[in-house]
Amino acid sequence: MKNARLDRDRAPRDPGGVQWAPGGARRAFGGGTTLRGRRRLAAWAVGAAVLVLSGSGTAVAAPVQVAAGGAAAESSGIDIRDRIAAIPGMRVVAEKPAAPGIRYFELTYRQPDDHRHPERGSFEQRLSLQHRSTERPMVLYTSGYDLGAGASFRSEPATLLDGNQIYTEQRYFGTSRPVDPTDPADMSDLNIRQAADDHHRLIQALKSIYRGSWISTGGSKGGMATVYHRRFHPDDVDGSVVYSAPNNVDDRDDSAYDTFLARVGTPECRAALQAVQREALLRRDEMTTRYAQWAAANAQTFETLGSVDRAFELAVLRLPMMFWMYAGEPKCAGIPGPGASADELYAWVDGVTRLAVYADESVAFFRPYFHQLGTQLGYMQLATPHLDGLLRYPGIQEVRNYLPAGTALRFDSGAMPDIDRWVRHRSDRILFVYGENDPVRAEPFRPGPGSRDTRVLIAPHTGHGARLGTLTPDDAAQASTTLRRWAGA
């Protein structure tokens, strides 16, 4: 997203602001107030059950039934753990308890640091596998970040299809890190093509066992990664479900976000949000005193962003974006008015923006994401004329502020237009799902005349946590039918 993301689409809410995590963990930057909370984000939002219509028109959860014998029914007679372990480069780290009928494995798969030059080194990409049966469809899921505590999360398509699921950690996140011993901070091999090639190579390896249909899915940054993989390897899977994915074609123009935020919700709610932003900055000293007290009590620092004051200003600037992504219409009545106490105002701002995500610990955790924003994905900066005279730090919204001083960023202005052209003219079998009130919908993917079997679906009165189950009953039924058709279920 341009960035609204700073997604902690680790469930994330990206720091940019996009994403989703169960229980609202980490909405802002990545989604949580602790490292554990950030990781929770990755499990975010793609809810559990998909809705289809019963004969009476009532929405009901309807997963496909597994074939007789479930996970135990394997045509080869060789235990699935042994078959997985026999794949060259694959390592079974552990098998852990799982739901009935599912075997759950923690895995690593060795990937080249650079797919163009595999002889230059390799790293282990972390994965989790929920094995149902080799006869069932396989769903490739990514949050776009690390594996984290959400590795056992079951995506909506996997639930609907009663299928297997492989959950991937993205390169440079978590422990899946190509490392140059001469320069550990080097991220030159972090780009959308290398990550797409990771997915392609993994799929080719697993298709030796899972020879049925394949579906890919992800939300926010994970949804973006899903699209990028399809752009470079369109035939790897039989279809994709992409949730809440922004499409920043021109990083120089953020006006679509300004226009969206000027129209979303009611005039009264928008006015209340602007007023509370002003109030927070007018009472900046009271707010930053509490912020600094929290930081001291939790051993948190702000060296990257520069100070508590700078971090607070940035959080206030991003407040409307975060509100509509994760709070929305039901929370408009709770926006503090001018008579709110300092404690009430601070608690509300923290609850919406997740102030902890601007501290060094969180910023460092999402450094690969910020690098991607500054080199290919692009980063959003909002216009705020209603805050004139209250801002102290021009340029604070620029993505460079989230990276160590002196970090070299060379932006590839052709990367996102290339993706956009492919979606418009050549994409095939993709469902794009957006929430009606989600700011990332300001710059969505738009299938064009050349796309095939590809649709955009809007979940009414919904923010960044949109899923098939939040669509209208008719759209949910059609989406479920489409997904089953792709999977041959």
Question: Angle at the Cα of 20 (from 378 to 225), degrees rounded to 5?
Answer: 45
Count H helices, E strands: the chain?
A: 15, 13
Q: How, if at all, do strands 164-168 and 90-96 pair?
A: unpaired
Name the region of 31 (left: φ>0; alpha: ψ -120 to 50; beta: rest). Answer: left
- Is 4 or 425 the better-scoring residue by pLDDT? 425
Tokens 């608690």 sit at which residue? 347
Query: Measured at the alpha carbon of residue 33, what is the angle toward residues 32 and 38, in degrees to the nearest 5?
Result: 35
Helices (H), 303-377: 308-317, 319-326, 342-353, 360-365, 367-372
Task: Give pLDDT tens digits for 345-376.
Answer: 999 999 999 999 999 999 999 999 999 999 99
Number of C-beta neighbours around residue 55 at 10 A: 5
The residue type at 377: L
C-alpha span between 151 and 342 (Å, rounded): 39
Q: 169-207: buried (b, 16+ CB within 10 Å) or exposed (e) per residue? A: bbbbbbebbbeeeeeeeebebbbbbbbbbbbbbbbeebe
Tokens for 261? 């935020």
Backbone angles phi, psi at 129, to 5 degrees: -125, 125
CA-based torsion, 357, 358, 362, 363: positive or negative: positive
pLDDT at position 216 over 60: yes
Q: How confident is the model at residue 185 (pLDDT cuts 50, 70, 90)?
A: confident
Sign of CA dihedral 300, 302, 303, 307: negative
CB 464 within 8 A of CB 325: yes
Which residues face 131 on adjacent strands?
103
For residue 123, the tally of other CB atoms under 10 A from its CB is 20
What pLDDT is stored for residue 37 in this prediction? 40
What is the spatial distance between Cα 268 and Cα 271, in angstroms, rounded to a whole number? 5
Helix or strand or coil: residue 75?
A: coil
Chain segment 97-152, per-residue pLDDT in tens:
999 999 999 999 999 999 999 999 999 999 999 999 999 999 999 999 999 876 78
CA 130 to chain CA centroid, nearest Å: 20
Quick check: 446 and 24 in contact, CB under 8 A? no
Mean pLDDT lowest for which of 2-16, 73-87, 284-298?
Answer: 2-16
For 458, other C-beta atoms within 10 Å of its C-beta total 19
- By the 10 Å C-beta count (0-12 exposed, 13-18 middle, 19+ buried), 296 is classed as exposed
CA distance 436 to 466: 9
SS (H, E, C) 218-231: EECHHHHHHHHHHH
pTM above 0.85, yes or no: yes
| Tokens, residue 351 | 């609850």
Tell me the pLDDT tens digit for each residue of 384-411: 999 999 999 999 999 999 999 989 899 9
Q: Where does the pLDDT of residue 13 fall: very low under 50, low under 70, confident under 90, or very high at 90 and above?
A: very low
* pLDDT tens digits for range 170-183: 999 999 999 887 78
Q: Categorize the per-residue pLDDT at 32 as very low, low, confident or very high, splitting at 50, 70 and 90.
A: very low
Q: Which amino acid is at 434?
A: Y
